[in-house]
Amino acid sequence: MAGWQKVADLDALAPGALSDVVVGQELVLLVRDAAGTVRAFQGLCPHEYARLAEGTLEEGDGGARIRCSRHLARFDLADGVCRRGWVLPPLRRYAVEVADGAVLLPDPLVALA
């Protein structure tokens, strides 16, 4: 039966910082934005598989973007779509729940459609 699994403590995610966790076989990027919302994406860039947690979260026209550190592709924080730098597939996204100070991801881990 599907459920949720704890992958991080909310306090460990600084607003505006990128971090990643291994969930099963998957590296997952966790992002807590300035408003406190936590989002989860695939942890490796679809270009040449750089760890996105080594990138930065930048504010720009139209909202925040995850910037890959290797070749500077930028992915919209709202939907994971690559908006600048490259033509790449969107990042896989995962549902996130926050409860009792814990960040939860689906168990088993299944990407949003």
Residues in contact with ligand FES by CB under 6 A are 45, 47-48, 50, 68, 70-71, 73, 86
- Choice between 66 and 104, CB closer to ligand FES: 66
- Choice between 23 and 73, CB closer to ligand FES: 73
Closest CA to 31 of 53, 49, 51: 53
C-alpha span between 21 and 30 (Å, rounded):
8
Q: Nearest distance from residue 16's CB to ligand FES, in Å?
A: 20
Sign of torsion over alpha carbons 89, 105, 27, 62: positive
- Choice between 68 and 105, CB closer to ligand FES: 68
Q: Nearest distance from residue 49's CB to ligand FES, in Å?
A: 6
Q: How far apart are the first and last CA of the chain?
A: 19
**Tokens of residue 9, six digits:** 């403590």
Q: Nearest distance from residue 50's CB to ligand FES, in Å?
A: 4
